[in-house]
Amino acid sequence: MKQWIRLLGLIVFSALLPNTVVAQAVGGYAAGCQFNAQALPPFGPGFYVLRASRERYYGQSSLIEYLQNLGNKLDQAQFPAMLVADMAKERGGPFAYGHRSHQSGLDADIWLRTPPHTIDSRQLETLSAQDMVNHSHYTLSPHFKDQQRLLIALAAQDPKVSRIFVHPLIKQAMCKAYGDAPWLSRLRPWFGHSKHIHVRLHCPTGDSHCEPQAPVTPGTGCGSELASWINDKDGRLSSGGKRKPYRPTLPKQCQGWVK
C-alpha cells in the first residue's frame, strides 16, 4: 500500500513539474532555473571548489563536464590547479547576494590566482582572490603570468563556450599573446573581472526552454571594440558597497521550484 501511495505521489509531482524528467536549463542566464543539476566534486584533477559552504557548486551536466575536462588539461600540462568559485544553486535561480546571472547552471567563475602548494578544506573556505590589475596605474599586475594566459586560452577553446568575461586589460594581453586565434572572440571585455574569469556555456542541445545569449561579434574583438573599453577607465565597477538582491521575474517552469 505504501508503495502505491509513494508512486501516486511521484506521478502527481511529475505532472506538476513535467520538465524535470531530464536535466534542463530553463530561462536565461539572469532569469532562470535548472532541473536535475549535478554537483561538481569538491576537488579533482586540476581543480578545487571554493566556498563549498555556500552550496553554489551545481550546474548542468555540460558545465560539470566542461570544468572537469579543463581541469584535466591543466593537470596534464603540469600547471597549477584552478580554483572554481560560484556556479549555481542546486535549483538555480537568483542568489541571495552577489551575481545577477549564474541562474541556469551554465555559468562558472574561475579565479585567476595560483592556489597554495598544499591546500585544505579550511583554506578553500577562507582563501582570498588576487587582483590581476593594478587599478591605480591601469596596468596588469605582476601576478598575471603564463599560467593565467594558458588557463584562459584553454578555457576559451572549448566549442561549448558562449563567452568568457574578462577585464579589458586581460583581453588586451590575450590578444597580444595569441594574435588572431579564432577563440579570442569569446573573450568579452567586462569590468569587474580582474580577479576571475566568468565562463558562460551555450544552451545544451535540445533544451528548448533555455534562452541563449546573442552570438558574439565575429572577429577577434582585438581592434576598435577593445580600444573603446581600454579607454573607458572611468567605467570600472566598484567592488565596494552592497547591491540590492536581484529578483527577476522567473519563467513559469521555475516559479514554485526555486527556493
- The answer to whether position 151 is within a domain reads yes
Cell of 88: 549555481
- Predicted confidence at residue 234, as pLDDT, reads 62
- The answer to whether position 246 is within a domain reads no
- The answer to whether position 153 is within a domain reads yes
- The answer to whether position 253 is within a domain reads no
Task: Give this prediction's pTM.
Answer: 0.88
Handedness of CA 54, 60, 65, 70 (dihedral sign): negative
- The answer to whether position 245 is within a domain reads no
- Predicted confidence at residue 242, as pLDDT, reads 57
* Domain that includes residue 228, residue range: 22-235
- Predicted confidence at residue 235, as pLDDT, reads 63
Tens of each residue's pLDDT in the chain, 259 residues: 444 334 333 333 334 444 445 789 999 999 999 999 999 999 999 999 999 999 999 999 999 999 999 999 999 999 999 999 999 999 999 998 878 899 999 999 999 999 998 899 999 999 999 999 999 899 999 999 999 999 999 999 999 999 999 999 999 999 999 999 999 999 999 999 999 999 999 999 989 999 999 999 899 999 999 999 999 876 654 444 456 667 889 999 999 999 8
- The answer to whether position 7 is within a domain reads no
- The answer to whether position 76 is within a domain reads yes
- Predicted confidence at residue 236, as pLDDT, reads 54
- The answer to whether position 26 is within a domain reads yes
Q: Within 10 Å of residue 124's Cβ, how many Cβ atoms?
A: 18
Q: Which of 78, 116, 99, 61 is nearest to 196 (CA)?
A: 99
- Predicted confidence at residue 34, as pLDDT, reads 97
Question: The domain that contains 154 carries what CATH number?
Answer: 3.30.1380.10
Burial 39-53 (b: 16+ CB within 10 A, else e): ebeebbebbbbbbbe
- Predicted confidence at residue 243, as pLDDT, reads 62
Number of compact structural domains in the chain: 1
